[in-house]
Amino acid sequence: MNYTFSDGLRDLQPSAIREILKYASVPGVVALSAGNPAPEAFPVAEIAAISERLLRERPIDVLQYGATEGYQPLRDHLKTYLREKYAVGCDTDDVLITSGAQQVMELVTKTVCNPGDVVLCESPSFIGSLNSFRALGVKLVGVPMEADGMDVEALERALNEHKNVRFIYTIPNFQNPAGVTMSMEKRRRLYALAKAHNVLIVEDNPYGDLRFTGEDVPAIKTLDDDGVVVYAGSFSKVLSSGMRVGYALANKTLLAKMIVAKQGEDVHTTQWAQMVCHEFMTTCDFEAHLDRLRAVYKEKAQLMMDLLDEHLVPAGITYHRPEGGLFIWCQLPDGVDMADFCTKAVKEHKVAVVPGSAFNVEGEHLQTFRVNYSTPTNEAMREGVARLGAFAKEYIK
Amino acid sequence: MNYTFSDGLRDLQPSAIREILKYASVPGVVALSAGNPAPEAFPVAEIAAISERLLRERPIDVLQYGATEGYQPLRDHLKTYLREKYAVGCDTDDVLITSGAQQVMELVTKTVCNPGDVVLCESPSFIGSLNSFRALGVKLVGVPMEADGMDVEALERALNEHKNVRFIYTIPNFQNPAGVTMSMEKRRRLYALAKAHNVLIVEDNPYGDLRFTGEDVPAIKTLDDDGVVVYAGSFSKVLSSGMRVGYALANKTLLAKMIVAKQGEDVHTTQWAQMVCHEFMTTCDFEAHLDRLRAVYKEKAQLMMDLLDEHLVPAGITYHRPEGGLFIWCQLPDGVDMADFCTKAVKEHKVAVVPGSAFNVEGEHLQTFRVNYSTPTNEAMREGVARLGAFAKEYIK
């Protein structure tokens, strides 16, 4: 049998992050490459108690087919929660529960894009989303990132240049991988540009609740009374990543088509996971839990920054100080071979970071790599950054 | 905001089955329209015990991100199980765990089809799969069903006529909705034709373990040493539908691309659900559980056939006697308006069945409707079929 693959999948390779995770699992390698929540961030006892109760009191609801649009009590709760806490959502919006926020990206693309249509992405951006778009054969065009978010002048030029742009993809808070947060001024400008061009915005906000310093910036979706913004949220970083529960908040007309698309993908999201999320939000102290998470990540981020200051900055590596999220984006001096540096770091010095090239949109050159502070233990971070620093001092002449 | 939808989604409507389920949930309506497993089929106590143990002993494995290809112990176990029990799979094959078998259909389509490519489907066929294909913009061509499965002469003509056929979709056992099982002779012919035309077969087998009479027919996949067949299995009908766990067994080269596609859809399937399936298969008596399910469905199917003989056959309605699965396909006499009959049945007589038109491939006329015996209680079946029979005697002159 000779296989012929679709245009979208033919040249698509497994995510470089997940490939590097294979190296990262070699014994003795310190992995600063993952993006997993810290194991201590999972509220294990509460989830176990909720799960036991659900399987005792309502086993058939847990085990039987559910509705494609999601477990209704969770949909209702999220709608109220997002509106009251973040001023996100209006009367013409509704909530769809998805199998992780990743599925939101895929469903929007499938719903509004034909192959060859254009999606504008921050460059660099999250490879999982980029590959989700690529798999459906769309053309990605990168918009450079600045310290306060997307370069909106470049965005305007791209919107004028490409006539078949279907949406703009952004991670406005603690962007993965660049770590930056978009300013309110730029959010307003982005929204106005998208609306004027009749182009959707997909606002991916997996890390918004993980701010440990500075002031929250309102979501782009708070500006939206015209169905321009699809807001994507996730339980992966705040409750459990292995559960695979995310959601889209979007205009009902658009959402109705996304529901038809989801019906053909996985019928509905795992009932147990949806019900656990709902019970956790409504019967446990969700806000206290988020406070605890922020404290965990604040401490780990601070330790990582201290270690970078001690070991990497003296070798000429600079980095962006994050105000939240899980990652730090590090910049190598000009002239240093980034890919070779990252490869030798893992193969010869047993410390894994993610090369910036994993996050590029159109093959553009990047002189950067990403480190993570949520997954490794403090001890592993100390060992890993010390190894990386010793190697960097020797490698960067 | 004006929305423009993709070619695949523009005209796609929510599954008629799920729409009819809305009527079916009106108080007083007897629903013979669902396809849910019987509530008594779920091994609630075993699943609760397994879940409690997993969350006590290995909570981080349950709650943390997993691998896209699936929970490795479940992949390994299924590979051995399918090979030893059904002679399905060879050394060049591997297993991918999916979010229900529905995702297998979507992933194969995304991996090998561009919009406009052709998929050959049994006509009638399962609307969930058909809509999964349609959402990606492929063209569906129907192959008529006979009492022993697909009309293989018509299949050959379709393969010769359409040059861009990418796969043939079949449910060989207790087909949904037609209830028929493909003969071994036709399975051989189908395989030879597909191989000769370098076209994949997607063998969807959700009901294979639910045979309650007659002899098992070997899977098409047992003939395959050349990577022609993608075999799709599911835990939805044999363990829990709400868990959303299915799997693909296919050639490793093809599977590698499907894994990349899945990475962009939902990263991986819910860890809890995968681990529960593995523990159930390896620590409980899975074969005894399947025996129990077959006994449940045998009894319910027999009751349904007795009721149809008593109430519907005298009105001129005929039906196909199933040897397994969850459904019976009923044929109205010529000249009766099937759509009107089904609509009046639910609206005026409060008994819901699924009109055959929900399952057509290219808009062809069908004089049939589907009834289900797994979901309703025995009492509801008695009441529902009696109502339907009284109405049919009056409606069919």
> Contacts of residue B265 in chain A, CB cutoff 8 Å?
99, 102-103, 106, 132, 265
User: How far is residue A16's CA from residue A192's CA, in Å, rounded to a whole number?
Assistant: 35
Task: Identify the bridge partners of residue B64 per DSSP, sorted by sequence position.
Answer: none
Residue A72 distance to chain B (closest CA, Å): 14
pLDDT recorded at residue A18: 62
pLDDT confidence tier of residue B216, bands split at 50, 70 and 90: very high
Query: What fold does the segment set A45-283 form as a domain?
Result: Aspartate Aminotransferase; domain 2 (3.40.640)
* Cβ–Cβ < 8 Å for B285, B85: no
Query: CA triplet B376, B99, B71: central angle to 5 degrees?
Result: 125
Query: Taking the domains of chain A in order of start, what are their residue ranges?
Result: 16-43+288-395, 45-283
Interchain contact B210–A (C-beta under 8 A): no
pLDDT recorded at residue B16: 62
Query: What fold does the segment set B7-43+288-395 form as a domain?
Result: Aspartate Aminotransferase, domain 1 (3.90.1150)
* Tokens found for residue B319: 């039906």
Residue B115, number of CB atoms within 10 A of its CB: 16
Interchain contact A6–B (C-beta under 8 A): yes
pLDDT digits (tens, 9 = 90+) for B153-179: 999 999 999 999 999 999 999 999 999
Residue A27 distance to chain B (closest CA, Å): 18
> Torsions phi, psi of B93, nearest 5?
-100, 160
Mean pLDDT score, B81-102: 97
> Contacts of residue B106 in chain A, CB cutoff 8 Å?
264-266
* Tokens found for residue A143: 């918009």
> Contacts of residue A25 in chain B, CB cutoff 8 Å?
none
User: Is residue A16 pLDDT above 70, yes or no?
Assistant: no
For chain B, the first-to-last Cα distance in angstroms comes to 52
Which residue type, as a one-letter code, is found at position B388? L
Residues above pLDDT 70, as percent of chain B: 98
Mean pLDDT score, B126-143: 96
pLDDT recorded at residue A364: 85
Domain A16-43+288-395 in CATH 3.30.1050.10? The answer is no
What is the Cα B130 distance to its own chain's centre? 11
What top-level class would CATH report for the domain B45-285? Answer: alpha beta
* Cβ–Cβ < 8 Å for B325, B293: no
Which residue type, as a one-letter code, is found at position A131? N
Which residue type, as a one-letter code, is found at position B369? F
* Cβ–Cβ < 8 Å for B182, B203: no
> Contacts of residue B5 in chain A, CB cutoff 8 Å?
111-112, 257
pLDDT digits (tens, 9 = 90+) for A256-296: 999 999 999 999 999 999 999 999 999 999 999 999 999 99
Interchain contact B104–A (C-beta under 8 A): no
User: How far is residue B232's CA from residue B126's CA, in Å, rounded to a whole number?
Assistant: 14
* Cβ–Cβ < 8 Å for B261, B107: yes
Which residue type, as a one-letter code, is found at position A167? F
pLDDT digits (tens, 9 = 90+) for A317-354: 999 999 999 999 999 999 999 989 998 999 899 999 99
User: Is residue B18 pLDDT above 90, yes or no?
Assistant: no
pLDDT recorded at residue A26: 84
Residue A51 distance to chain B (closest CA, Å): 8
Mean pLDDT score, A144-158: 97
* Cβ–Cβ < 8 Å for B43, B281: no
> Contacts of residue B51 in chain A, CB cutoff 8 Å?
51-52, 55
ipTM entry: 0.96
Is the Cβ pair A6, B110 closer than 8 Å?
A: yes
Mean pLDDT score, B289-297: 97
Is the Cβ pair B272, A273 closer than 8 Å?
A: yes
User: Is residue B21 pLDDT above 80, yes or no?
Assistant: no
Interchain contact B68–A (C-beta under 8 A): yes
Residues above pLDDT 90, as percent of chain A: 92
pLDDT digits (tens, 9 = 90+) for B193-214: 999 999 999 999 999 999 999 9
Helix (H, G, I), strand (E, B) or coil at B46: helix
* Cβ–Cβ < 8 Å for A84, A132: no
A129-138, A189-198, A260-269, B9-18: the lowest-pLDDT one: B9-18
* Cβ–Cβ < 8 Å for B101, B200: no
pLDDT digits (tens, 9 = 90+) for A22-63: 677 788 999 999 889 999 999 999 999 999 999 999 999 999
> Contacts of residue A242 in chain B, CB cutoff 8 Å?
61-66, 270-272
* Tokens found for residue B313: 């056959």
User: Is residue B24 pLDDT above 80, yes or no?
Assistant: no
pLDDT recorded at residue A23: 76
Q: Find, among A218, A255, A243, the residue nearest to A68 by Cα.
A: A255
Is the pTM of the predicted complex or chain greater than 0.95? yes
pLDDT digits (tens, 9 = 90+) for A212-222: 999 999 999 99
Residue B333 distance to chain A (closest CA, Å): 33
Best mutation target among A64, A199, A228, A268 (most B Cβ atoms within 10 Å) is A64
pLDDT digits (tens, 9 = 90+) for A98-139: 999 999 999 999 999 999 999 999 999 999 999 999 999 999
A 259-288 near B (Cβ less than 8 A):
259-261, 263-273
Best mutation target among B167, B267, B280 (most A Cβ atoms within 10 Å) is B267
> Contacts of residue A128 in chain B, CB cutoff 8 Å?
263-264, 267
pLDDT recorded at residue A312: 97
pLDDT recorded at residue A25: 74
Mean pLDDT score, A78-104: 97
